[in-house]
Amino acid sequence: MNIGKLPENVLKRSVFKQLHTKRKEVLQGAGVGEDCAAMLLGADEMFVVSTDPITGTTQDIGRMGMLVTLNDLASAGAEPVGVLLTALLPENITEPQIRQIMQQIDGECEKYHVQVMGGHTEITRAVNQPVLTVTGIGKALKGKMISTGGARPGDDMVITKWIAIEGTVILAKEKEMELLDRFPKNMIEEAKKMEKYLSVVPEAAVAVRSGVSAMHDVTEGGIFGALWEMAEASGVGLEIDLKKIPVRQESIEICEYFGINPYELISSGSMLIAASDGNMLVRNLEKEGIPAAVVGKAMEGNDRILINDGEVRFLEPPKTDELYKVLN
């Protein structure tokens, strides 16, 4: 396609026509020539906004972009309402590929009742693969927003599902042929099927009802990065039992093959939660079919300790995600 904005006929046919979900709160949404969106809130409500780019994968980029941003809003205890999209596309992209990305986005919009409120689409030489940035707009009752920095000394630290979900799915898809030379097909298929666990919206809803102190979705930097970020934001120490951190065997095998650390691998689909009664939270989550585990506690002070069979090490600030060691 030619450099610059998408042609108006392509924009109407393969972008706007793929979007179907509407929200009553959205007063002005996406349209040709519209540079702004407008949203109505109640008197006791507040905006919650988050934004994320998707640069680490080209497969399912529309779906992944939506899930990452919706997870951020859910982690704050907010109800997602709408998104703004910025799609920077390479010259060699085709209209069917654009339509497929928009259909993936619309599928997630329908699932979570979210409206695409606007955005920008452009063909540019600045990228050699699609880059999608999703800005999510949600709402929460005043005083009810849950932050990453709300953990208190004595709180239990709970992890939902398993770490490394997103990284495992991306590697299973992007490196499928290479992995099939080493592993049986059924294992790689199971790793790819883990994408059904990428949303943390369900566990966020349970956590909000359970009255938790803090939530943080586990994204770049993996669980080690998420633990550090919650402790740093909250001004607490940590004592974490490494053996209690849940991880799927598929993730372990794939990470061992590529020589990367699953604890430092992008992990959308897993939520880190601080709660005064972690065991009660785990029971509440399990009632909704969501596995979870108490892995340690928040402590007084600044020491962030990982315990592994009696061996003690200190948690370090997040480093570059392990995914980029394989995909770059």
> Is pLDDT at 5 greater than 80 in this prediction?
no
pLDDT at 34: 63
Distance CA 249, CA 203 (A): 22
- pTM exceeds 0.95, yes or no: no
pLDDT (tens digit, 9 = 90+) per residue, 38-51?
778 888 888 889 99
Question: Which DSSP string do the residues of 247-279 spell out, in sequence order?
Answer: B-HHHHHHHHHHT--GGGS--TT-EEEEES-HH
Evaluate the CA torsion angle 308, 314, 319, 325 in order and state its sign: negative
CATH topology of domain 148-327: Phosphoribosyl-aminoimidazole Synthetase; Chain A, domain 2 (3.90.650)
Q: What is the pLDDT of residues 50-59, one digit of tens each?
A: 998 888 777 7
Q: Running DSSP on this structure, what letter comes out for residue 32?
A: T
Each residue's pLDDT tens digit, 76-128 = 999 999 999 999 999 999 999 999 999 999 999 999 999 999 999 999 999 99
What mean pLDDT, rounded, does the chain reach? 92
Residue type, 130: P
Q: Which of 135, 264, 148 is nearest to 204 (CA)?
A: 148
Q: Reply yes or no on domain 4-141 having CATH 3.30.1330.10.
A: yes
What is the maximal distance between C-alpha atoms in the chain? 64
- How many C-beta atoms surround the C-beta of residue 84 within 10 A? 20
Domain residue ranges in the chain: 4-141, 148-327
* Mean pLDDT value of segment 191-195: 96
| Fold agreement (4-141, 148-327) | no
By C-alpha distance, which of 115, 183, 142, 143 is closest to 46?
Answer: 142
pLDDT-derived band of residue 35, with 50, 70 and 90 as boundaries? Answer: low
pLDDT number for residue 7: 83
